[in-house]
């Protein structure tokens, strides 16, 4: 192999590694996020929110996700126990839940603000150092598509784009 081909191969490998890392982080976050609607008590929700916070603060996971979408998800989170009347005389588990939710929201809001400032500074300097909606260039934006129901679906290793199998016709006794 020539040096030029070898350098191109190494660059492609690095880009794929970054892409697969971003997809792995997104899948792990999705698994944690899917646990939230199933939380019946405030204690369960606090444990899931704390797991999400710890996951986001680990390594560079926060820079690998779509922070704006996750922020909207956390802000719009309405769990069944939130509809109950709270005791105003005592601090209960619901207050701990509110604090955990606010901590995750603050973390994500800071990341969104950081990305906007980074995008603004790069566009002002004319370098164009970011793409993908404020995500640094070394972090690829995950491909998204619309499903038949209208919701956004992440394209990746688990998405099949082929034809669905043909359904076998039921045989009637009159044929």
Model pLDDT, residue 81? 85
pLDDT bracket for residue 102 (50, 70, 90): very high
pLDDT tops 80 at residue 3: yes
The domain segmentation of the chain, as residue ranges, is 3-139
Model pLDDT, residue 141? 52
d(CA 141, CA 132): 6
The answer, as to whether pTM is greater than 0.75, is no
d(CA 25, CA 162): 26
pLDDT tops 50 at residue 90: yes
Beta-strand pair 144-146/152-154? antiparallel
Which of 17-21, 45-49, 56-60, 154-158 is most confident?
45-49
Which carries the bigger pLDDT value, residue 60 or residue 171? Answer: 60
């Amino acid at each position: 192999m020539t040096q030029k081909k070898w350098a191109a191969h190494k660059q492609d490998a690095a880009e794929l590694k970054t892409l697969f890392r971003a997809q792995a982080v997104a899948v792990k976050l999705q698994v944690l996020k899917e646990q939230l609607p199933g939380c019946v008590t405030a204690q369960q929700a606090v444990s899931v929110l704390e797991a999400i916070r710890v996951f986001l603060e680990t390594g560079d996971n926060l820079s690998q996700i779509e922070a704006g979408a996750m922020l909207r998800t956390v802000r719009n989170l309405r769990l069944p126990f939130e509809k109950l009347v709270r005791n105003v005389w005592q601090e209960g588990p619901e207050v701990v839940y509110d604090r955990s939710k606010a901590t995750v929201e603050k973390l994500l809001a800071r990341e969104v603000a950081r990305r906007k400032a980074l995008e603004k500074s790069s566009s002002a300097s004319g370098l164009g150092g970011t793409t993908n909606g404020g995500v640094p260039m070394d972090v690829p934006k995950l491909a998204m598509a619309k499903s038949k129901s209208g919701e956004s679906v992440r394209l990746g290793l688990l998405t099949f784009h082929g034809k669905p199998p043909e359904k076998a016709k039921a045989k009637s006794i009159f044929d």
